[in-house]
Structure 1
Amino acid sequence: MKTLLVSIGFLAVTALSVFAAEPAKMVDTKMGKVLATDKGMTLYVFDKDGKGKSNCDAACLKKWPAFHADAKAKAEGEWSLVKAADGKDMWAYSGKPLYTYSGDKKAGDMTGDGVGGVWHVAK
């Protein structure tokens, strides 16, 4: 009986980790589906980034904050972790590091799309 209870407990923990929430969500917008934080802030990609590498330096991160991952974050599926210029882990989707934009003031704002011809909403 004790073995059965331990096995059920292990299965429950394993099942919960499989269904862990993704770090961002897809939201419907006038531009179609885009990635946003759990608070609804639009996420962006930077054309000058390499696959799995952020090229947004410290000055850049002031205007384009990295979408940081918490300390317990684990890469899974299309989601990976890369180092931001500040040394912290940030989320990447399909190898592209993700950022928010300091010019977006409320959930759903997408004022960073097209800035400098190199910033785009993440889809």
Structure 2
Amino acid sequence: MNQQRIVLLSAAGLASALLLGACGSSMDNASSGTSPSRVAPVATAAASEPATSAPAGSAGSGGGHLAITAMLMAKAVEGVGSVVTDDKGMTLYRYDKDEAHPSKWTCSGTCTKTWMPVMVQGSVRTMGVEKSLLGTVHRDGRTQLTLGGWPLYRYMGDTAAGQANGQAADGMWYAVTPSGGKSVR
């Protein structure tokens, strides 16, 4: 009788493990597939090397931080008007020292501790932002998102969605508009 229970429990455990494994496999396949109607591919801009380069392999150049996004949205933010936000609703910025054509980033080292480069891994969805203006620039082996050629950043001083505390910082950092321009409000 004891042996029979052990066999039955073992069989039930094996069946459970197989079912859970099958569920995990189908979930993995479902989440890895993307529908072209929901995801817009990022148009690749002419990639160029940065004006100032940091050691390869550093997080965002010199130990800085990175912001990864999969969506850009146009949102009205108090004080700056209609600007671009990431998938968390955080305001995105452009830096006047960077270049738009060809795209070049200049914020490196300690700069990236305050201004996090917005990185992309694959496709980016948009809402209210013209897809044809999206591009990328290579940065330390990663891909930084650009809009209208301008590399995009998040400001560490914005701690909640809808803030624009970095607006006009140092007279060079501006919230980016859906057309890639800078908000001058």
TM-score band by shorter chain is 0.7 to 0.9
Match of 2:114 in 1: 63
* Aligned partner of 1:43 among 79, 92, 95: 92
Please list every run of 5 or more consecutive structure 2 residues that lacks an aligned counterpart in the other structure: 1-32, 41-69, 125-130, 178-185
Find runs of 4+ consecutive structure 1 residues off by over 3 angstroms: none
Match of 1:4 in 2: none
TM-score w.r.t. length of structure 2: 0.53
* Distance in 2 between residues matched to 1:20 and 1:101, nearest whole Å: 26
Shift of 1:87: 3.5
* Distance in 1 between residues matched to 2:94 and 2:171, nearest whole Å: 11
Q: Indicate conservation of the 8 Å contact 1:27/1:34, yes or no.
A: yes
Q: Indicate conservation of the 8 Å contact 1:79/1:94, yes or no.
A: yes
Q: Which amino acid aligns with 2:134?
A: W
Taking only aligned residues, the RMSD between alpha carbons, in angstroms, comes to 2.1
Q: How many residues align?
A: 107
Larger CA Rg, structure 1 vs 2:
2
TM-score w.r.t. length of structure 1: 0.77
Q: Secondary structure of 2:82's match? A: strand
* Aligned partner of 1:82 among 117, 124, 137: 137
Q: Indicate conservation of the 8 Å contact 1:54/1:83, yes or no.
A: no
Higher strand share: 2
Q: Does 1:114 align with 2:133?
A: no
